[in-house]
Structure 1
Amino acid sequence: MKYRIHPAWLVAVAAFVALIGAAGFRATPSVLLQPLHEEFGWSLSTISAAVSVNLLLYGLTAPFAAALMNRFGIRRVAMAALLLVSAGSGLTVFMTQSWQLMLCWGVLVGLGTGSLALGFVATITGRWFVRHRGLVTGVLTAGGATGNLIFLPVLSRLAESEGWRTASLTVSVAAVCVVPLIWWRLRDHPADLGVAALGADTVVAAPPKPAGGAARTALSALRDAARTRAFWLLAGGFAICGATTNGLVGTHFIPAAHDHGMPQTTAAGLLALVGVFDIAGTIASGWLTDRVDSRILLGAYYALRGLSLLVLPSLFAAAAHPSMLIFILFYGLDWVATVPPTVTLCREYFGAAGPIVFGWVFASHQIGAAFAATAAGLVRDQLGAYTWAWYGAGALALLASLLSLMLFAGKHFKPIAPGLGLAVPADS
């Protein structure tokens, strides 16, 4: 059967919308941090700990979700994930104690959003695209930024005018509304529709389901990948990436700006602008990934991010001035520009197991984010300001640049585990 539009593009659109729906809840912690603190009297470090649980599970779920997609299909896993996000967000309106915040924000939403994390992106692009793989990875990664762009200003205004419960229910409804689209358009393999992946010459039959369970597949991939130098360099750099984005800026930028007299809605608007520029930066990074060595791109991205964070403490003020807007523009362009080259390097080093291995690399991203979210809250509680959190993050980003450039030492690889499709650098 011939299609006027290759089905890969329709699958990518459905995945993009799913990522937007999942991103809705990831936009809420920074908006609801202050309202929850004011209503329940919970310390910022307590609320930040719930955010840390969310970020941690968001990352640790990714490799297992990628393995589950191999066993049960992308569509089923994506639908279940959106229902978990909806349930976790909706149930927050009934909470009265901090442990309930941990359960809803941390566990339910962490599991749901983790199943639609970047391992989901790597699985989609790995199966459906040969040509334009880097570009599509960038576009799908930008789906999270688009979700922030759509939800952040809306949720901020709802939380201020109608209360934080209305904001949470809005996210719950938005997530469940995406489910029918996923059922209609998302497919597991090009072979399901009798077509080749975009850019491939022949139709490749869908691989058989893994003999072992999803957990065993994910853990086997981690065991073999952990024997390589490349894995630890990628994971170390990506852990710092998470610490300097979701963990620090994504969670604490609004309260830090509020400390300097900036209204919460203004700060939320600035963070939404990060999402605007993030879309352009991530798509451009995907385009560059198809043309420039990914190791060079990562080294440049992390170095520029570190320098910008060292400048940030001097930019906070009661109003948004040109220097802060320049920072927002630059940080937005760099926010998740690291994803396309990291996905590409995982596939380069680990072959067909690249999506699952990337899930583990992404888990390190969220471990870094969880650490930074809690640590920054503690810095603020103990020192009364976030200044040293920004300086520490800047220094870490410069270290990530060095780790990325060290990947050149293991650029060549050889296959060692045909059953998993893993590969290992020749110097390992």
Structure 2
Amino acid sequence: MTLPPASPRHHRVHPAWWVAAVAFLALFGAAGFRGAPGALMVPLHTEFGWSMSVMSAAVSLNLILYGLVAPFAAALMDRFGIRRVVSTALTLVAAGAMGSVFMTASWQLLVFWGVLIGGGTGSMALVLAATIAERWFVAQRGLVMGVLTAGQATGQLVMLPPVAIIAEGWGWRPASLIIGGVALAVIPLAWWVLRDHPSDRGVLPYGADPATFVAPPRPTHGAVRRALGGLAFAARHRAFWALAIAFAVCGATTNGLVGVHFIPSAHDHGMPAATAAGLLAAVGVFDIAGTVASGWLTDRFDPRKLLAIYYTFRGVSLLLLPWLLSDTVHVSMVAFIVIYGLDWVATVPPTAALCRSIFGERSTIVFGWVFAAHQIGAAAAALGAGVIRDAFGAYTYAWWAGAATCVLAAVLSFLTRAQRPAGAPLAT
């Protein structure tokens, strides 16, 4: 067991906040290409004639890898360190974004959009946020999780307007190069600031009581063994499946549906791509407020009730969306953007809190698998919505299907039993 230093150093600003700030930038930089396919699908269709189904398949592979890599990335962070994993992940994102400018065939989308960018972003994603919050903070964990989640979600939305404008004005290739450059720019800062544990900086976690805090033992098993062991343990408990299914709905109705297909759907109604991208960027702005507020609420209220409320509002919004889309921006569409933005990933802090309260020291790995379900849901929705669009000529049935699944997620979240299974030690 690794113990903290006997006399922790005193800092004007606790190092945990610097680590959280750089993690925010890393998540923001990696997320740039997470939302880019939504802005690049129309230009690619115009240049190459690739169908929405073909491009959606590449996005689905991206989303699946983004999720399935996450639990292994959490274990790799335990084994090799946070900054090594983050630096490697950002390099993969940059390679995928910059390499995509040489594409000439649709199968190459699977390599650049799917494998490289999906694997790179999945190596950080929300697992990085959960790891930072768990290791570096005792107080304000919910708030920190909310802020880091906002960085991950906002990055993929805020980058959309400049990507769409550049793609329309100069082509999709310069847009891809800029995104790759953003990811590369974060690497030196991540290597300089990020550390694995507070003891590496000679401090206790933020908010820890020096008289009672004991650092948890550091993992000694292999990354793959820990990841699969965490899944085997969690899969025996109903709470895990309730959280995983509900979070799959979260992924389907954010990254999969709105994140990928809102711009093409708005384009079907006559709205310029740059305008639709601006609306999604506004979702990202409101997402910051909504996710941070959700983190604050998670520290004070029952996470299950919060999740039920979030999913209910999301379902109503999707149900009404087909009547709100038009060739111009009007008041009802603005209302949709505000509500959906506040609710975009507000589900993450309460979901992470439930994982922590139920699964204890295993919570980071378990949350990685719950997040994998999030991305499987996103992948299914991204592909399914593309198929629906090609089959019916509109996205209406896709939006309504999303609304129906939100009802299921609200019920599952409310009925989740927050009881600690046998064999799940307390989290510090």
Common fold by TM > 0.5: yes
Aligned residues of 1:258 and 1:264 also touching (Cα < 8 A): yes
1:269 Cα deviation from its structure 2 partner: 0.5
Give the corresponding residue for 1:34.
42
Cα pair 1:21 1:175 within 8 Å, conserved = yes
2:15 is matched with 7
Does structure 1 residue 161 correspond to structure 2 residue 162? Answer: no
Q: Deviation of residue 144 (structure 1)?
A: 1.9
Do the aligned residues in 2 keep the contact of 1:248 with 1:376 (CA within 8 Å)?
yes
| CA positional deviation for 1:216 | 1.0
Check the 8 A contact 2:42/2:264 in 1, yes or no: yes
Residue 82 (structure 1) aligned with residue 124 (structure 2): no
Structure 1 position 148, deviation (Å): 3.0
Q: Does 1:285 align with 2:333?
A: no
Cα distance in 2 between the residues matched to 1:188 and 1:28:
31
SS, match of residue 415 in structure 1: coil
Show the counterpart of 2:282. Answer: 273
The answer to whether the 8 Å contact 2:63/2:118 transfers is yes
Task: Describe the superposition over 1:25-76 as per-residue Cα deviations: whole angstroms up to 9, x where unpaired.
Answer: 1121100011111111111100010000001100001000000000001111
Structure 1 segment 171-186 matched on structure 2, within 5 A: 171-186=179-194
Equivalent residue number for residue 379 of structure 1 = 388
Letter in 2 for 1:89: A
Partner of 1:353: 362
Residues 320-344 of structure 1 deviation map (CA, whole Å, 9 limit, x = unaligned): 0000000000000000000000000
* Among 54, 61, 64, the residue aligned to 1:53: 61
Please give the alpha-carbon distance, in whole angstroms, between the structure 1 residues aligned to 2:88 and 2:50: 31
Q: Which residues of structure 2 form unaligned runs of 5+? A: 1-8
Shift of 1:414: 4.0
Structure 1 letter corresponding to 2:400: Y
Which amino acid letter does the alignment assign opposite residue 62 of structure 1? A
Supply the distance in 2 between the matched residues of 1:298 and 1:244 (Cα, whole angstroms): 14
1:313 to 2:322 alignment: yes
Verify the 8 A CA contact 1:131 1:198 in the aligned structure 2. yes
Contact 2:252 2:381 in 1 (8 A): yes
- Give the fraction of aligned pairs with identical amino acids, expressed as a percent: 63
Equivalent AA in structure 2 for residue 42 of structure 1: W
Q: What is the distance in 2 between the residues matched to 1:207 and 1:413?
A: 20
* SS of residue in 2 equivalent to 1:199: coil
Deviation at 1:147, TM superposition (A): 1.3
User: 1:257 maps to which residue?
Assistant: 266
**Structure 2 counterpart of 1:82, one-letter code:** L
Distance 1:263 1:133 in 2: 41
Q: Which amino acid aligns with 2:45?
A: H
SS in 1 for 2:346: coil
Contact 2:158 2:282 in 1 (8 A): no
Question: Is 1:208 paired with 2:218?
Answer: yes
1:411 is aligned, of 403, 406, 418, to 418
- Deviation for aligned residue 1:150: 3.6
What are structure 1's unaligned runs of at least 5 residues?
423-428
Equivalent position of 1:326 in the other structure: 335
RMSD: 1.2
Match of 2:140 among 132, 139, 147: 132
Equivalent in the alignment of 2:5 = none
What amino acid is the match of 2:232?
R
State the distance in 2 between where 1:413 and 1:204 align. Answer: 21
Say if 1:182 and 1:204 are closer, same or farther in 2 by CA, change over 3 A. Answer: farther
Q: What CA distance in whole angstroms lies between the structure 2 residues aligned with 1:88 and 1:6?
A: 35
Q: Which residue does 1:426 correspond to in 2?
A: none
Q: CA deviation at 1:208?
A: 3.3
- Provide the rounded CA distance (Å) in 1 between the counterparts of 2:121 and 2:320: 32
Question: Is the contact between residue 360 and residue 424 of structure 2 (CA under 8 Å) also seen in structure 1?
Answer: no
- Matched AA of 1:165: R
The aligned runs of 1:223-262 (5 Å cut-off) are 223-262=232-271
The whole-number CA distance in structure 2 between the counterparts of 1:208 and 1:414 is 21
Task: State the secondary structure of the residue aligned to 1:27.
Answer: helix
Counterpart-to-counterpart distance in 2, 1:194 and 1:406: 42
Aligned runs of 1:132-151 on 2, under 5 Å? 132-151=140-159
* Matched residue count: 417
Contact 1:196–1:204 (CA under 8 A) maintained in structure 2: no
Does the CA-based 8 Å contact 1:192-1:206 persist in structure 2?
no
SS of residue paired to 2:271? coil
Match of 2:350 in 1: 341
Counterpart of 1:366, as a letter, is Q
- Contact (CA 8 Å) 1:191, 1:204: kept in 2 or not? no
TM normalised by structure 2 equals 0.96
- The answer as to 2:371 corresponding to 1:362 is yes
Alpha-carbon offset, residue 201 of structure 1: 1.5
Change (3 A) 1:417 1:342: closer
CA contact (8 A) 1:26 1:148 kept: yes
Alpha-carbon offset, residue 22 of structure 1? 0.5
Which moved further from structure 2: 134-143 or 197-206?
197-206
Change (3 A) 1:308 1:390: same
TM-score by length of 1: 0.96
1:238 corresponds to which letter in structure 2?
Answer: F
Q: CA deviation at 1:2?
A: 1.5
